[in-house]
Structure 1
């Protein structure tokens, strides 16, 4: 098989599966692993993949401004939010991280539920402002308008002074091997702190975020306590997450 033909096959696998494994490609193509690694280096240089130990992952997604993310897949996020809030119990202390799906979760919190919510996102605080039974703790820090959140050392230090029952974590990428990841290093640091300071980690994600990896790891896959997904998410991928101990919830 010619180099260009191998590259076409690899790009197709990255598009369909989100990942490739070097030794599997070598066996498939009948070439050495060194040849496959060279193929992956060339594809990574061209922006078609991101190399990791043993293979490669699909390129990291591009971050959209928060205003655009709120409108994107709004119906799906509403369904995910309705399922995610079932994990809440009265008088829980909860981190709600920045993100458009988490914004939908904040809006879906039952009006009669008493909670303490800690957030790094002004939009989420505003969404809960008229909720009579929610105590809002707004974290300080340096505001990033594109992400719609605050970050930096001040934010991390504030998070480390709190312990929560669970965290609703926003993410652009969830991968079975790499885990939960983020595009921005400062954002990832705050997210990691929230995970460390929470009894349970919850991620509600649209299908386009599954099988992807962004540059900065937030949590390993085995740290994911609950994964809330759409009904059409890849069942094989979800089964693998469940094998690692994650409870998978399907939005209706």
Structure 2
């Protein structure tokens, strides 16, 4: 495969998924990881991505893949994560669930007999819970951002300030033991931080491609995570770093 062809495939993946892993690309292209790393350096030099440990993440203009684009990525993996995540719930809890396709999958997986109070700024999460017979649903209004599928801004923050939660299901654009939970959008990150502050515990469920990557805006430090829900194939060394900082690991 020619260099230009590899570069275009990398651009396409960054546009949809927001990140790429060097090892996966090397396997897909049938080339060495050194070749892929050289490709990523060239794209980063051109401002088309930002290098991170193990691969690269989209630069800000590319990071705004729409919710519909992201919803088709790793569907089965997100369903397994959701099934594992809802096992952390118990009747009577109050939850914050913010945006993201994994969190929407978690909302859909909440057992129909389980009584909860859920506050969300995500239209996807709200839609998933709109006909749940036992969930008291609180929709946090504000300025709706189509690319994110969530409400952000002063009105959203004011609504969050009036609430408290037992658990916060925090969507993560990147998750790294050193950088913690990160997001691509500053307004989105501000809402996530507010939810985390008003919660007794943070739950993060992530697919492997988000581990050891970081977006520009910090949301929460790694030591703030109480529960980390991951795929069974998640790298053991990275998980050990999170465990040392207090996270309980749950495999999907």
Length-normalised TM-score, structure 1:
0.78
Preserved CA contact (<8 Å) 1:58 1:213: no
Question: 1:60 maps to which residue?
Answer: 57
What SS does structure 2 have at the residue aligned with 1:193?
A: helix
User: 1:205-216 alignment to 2 at 5 Å?
Assistant: 205-216=206-217
Question: 2:9 maps to which residue?
Answer: none
User: 1:170-181 alignment to 2 at 5 Å?
Assistant: 170-181=171-182
Tell me the distance in 1 between the aligned counterparts of 2:91 and 2:101. Answer: 24
Q: Deviations over 1:25-82 (max 9, x none)?
A: xxxxxxxxxxxxxxxx99965446469xxxx885434342111212211100000000
Q: 1:74 to 1:42 in 2, by over 3 A?
A: closer
Preserved CA contact (<8 Å) 1:142 1:150: yes
Preserved CA contact (<8 Å) 2:22 2:54: no
Q: Is 2:151 the partner of 1:150?
A: yes
Preserved CA contact (<8 Å) 1:96 1:118: yes
Q: Deviations over 1:73-102 (max 9, x none)?
A: 110000000000011110100001011000
Question: 2:86 maps to which residue?
Answer: 85
Tell me the distance in 1 between the aligned counterparts of 2:112 and 2:172. Answer: 26
What SS does structure 2 have at the residue aligned with 1:60?
A: strand
Question: 2:35 maps to which residue?
Answer: none
Tell me the distance in 2 between the aligned counterparts of 1:73 and 1:84. Answer: 16
Question: 2:131 maps to which residue?
Answer: 130
User: 1:144-223 alignment to 2 at 5 Å?
Assistant: 144-223=145-224
Tell me the distance in 1 between the aligned counterparts of 2:198 and 2:109. Answer: 24
Tell me the distance in 1 between the aligned counterparts of 2:158 and 2:220. Answer: 19
Unaligned ranges ≥5, structure 2 = 1-20, 24-40
Q: 1:207 to 1:63 in 2, by over 3 A?
A: farther
Which structure has the greater CA radius of gyration?
A: 1
Tell me the distance in 1 between the aligned counterparts of 2:220 and 2:44. Answer: 24
Tell me the distance in 1 between the aligned counterparts of 2:193 and 2:66. Answer: 22
Tell me the distance in 2 between the aligned counterparts of 1:225 and 1:60. Answer: 26
Q: CA RMSD in A?
A: 2.1
Per the TM alignment, residue 171 of structure 1 is displaced from its structure 2 partner at its CA by: 1.3
Preserved CA contact (<8 Å) 2:171 2:204: yes
What SS does structure 2 have at the residue aligned with 1:186?
A: helix
Tell me the distance in 1 between the aligned counterparts of 2:236 and 2:214. Answer: 19
Unaligned ranges ≥5, structure 1 = 1-13, 17-40
